[in-house]
Structures are given as structure tokens and as C-alpha cells.
Amino acid sequence: MPTRWKPNVTVAAVIEQGGRFLLVEEHAADGLRLNNPAGHLDRGETPVQACRRETLEETTYAFEPSALVGIYQSRQHKSDGSDITYMRFAFCGDLGAADSSRALDHGIVRTLWLTLDEVRASVARHRSPMVLKCIEDYLAGRRYPLDLVVSDASVGT
């Protein structure tokens, strides 16, 4: 029987304050890249929980999702020959305080606050085309209730 194909499920936070967006600069296989605070959904957590965790790990900021911005699918052909499809759940919400006792997650070089023009000007350095797309959808007012994403109680067991 052939191996069943499965996408990689990821989450991302679209965080805006004063016309600037919080991004991370991170090491990737193809060099330093810019990304929304984002990462993979771990076993036993909901997408909302994963977004809280990933934002804290990558930025040291607490984050409370308040709405789903969108669900995005993208495919990346890597230089090593791999072909990966991602399903990204992007959330917006409220940014809390930074935790000065935390270090940035492995691979994260720094956090940056960029204007939309700066995000657009740096598109060649984006980790994926979804970085800008999520921000543009946020600016277009796309907001869906969190209960659109349903996680059965069995997820946490």
C-alpha cells in the first residue's frame, strides 16, 4: 500500500501595533528568512493553543488569539528535492507583555516590527508567500470566529 500523503499543519500569528507588524528573522535551509511568528501544530494541542505557544517561543511575547484570519495552503519545493505542503491557520489577537526571562526559540535570530511597505519590500526574504498574504488578509478585515476551528476533546488525550 502506498504511503498516504499528509500536509504539515502550521499556525501563525498576525500581530499589528501602530501600523507595524511583528515578524521574526529566522535561520532556514535557504538562509535568513522573515516570517510571522509561526510553527507546527504539536500532538495534543489545538491550533489556538499552538499559536499561543509558538508566539511565546519565537518572540517571548504572550499572545491571545481573538479571531481566525484564514486557512492557507502552500507548497514548497526545497533545494534538497523535498516537496512539502503546508496548511497554515493564521490568527490575529492581543499581544501581551514580553517575558524577559525567556530566550528566543532555537533558530530565531531576532524579532522585528515592520510597516506594510517594509514587509512588501522584503518579500524576497519571506519564509513563504503566506507571510504577506496573511497580513494583507488581516488588513482587508478578514476575521472569523475562533469556534470555526473545532477541536474534539480527544485531541488533548
Q: Binning pLDDT at 50, 70 and 90, where does residue 29 land?
A: confident
In a domain, 83, yes or no: yes
pTM of the predicted model as reported, rounded to 2 decimal places: 0.93
Q: Where residue 119 sits, what CATH number does that domain have?
A: 3.90.79.10
Within-domain flag for 3: no
Structurally, the chain folds into a number of domains equal to: 1
Residue 150: DSSP 8-state: -
Domain that holds residue 30: 8-147
Question: What pLDDT sits at residue 91?
Answer: 98
In a domain, 34, yes or no: yes
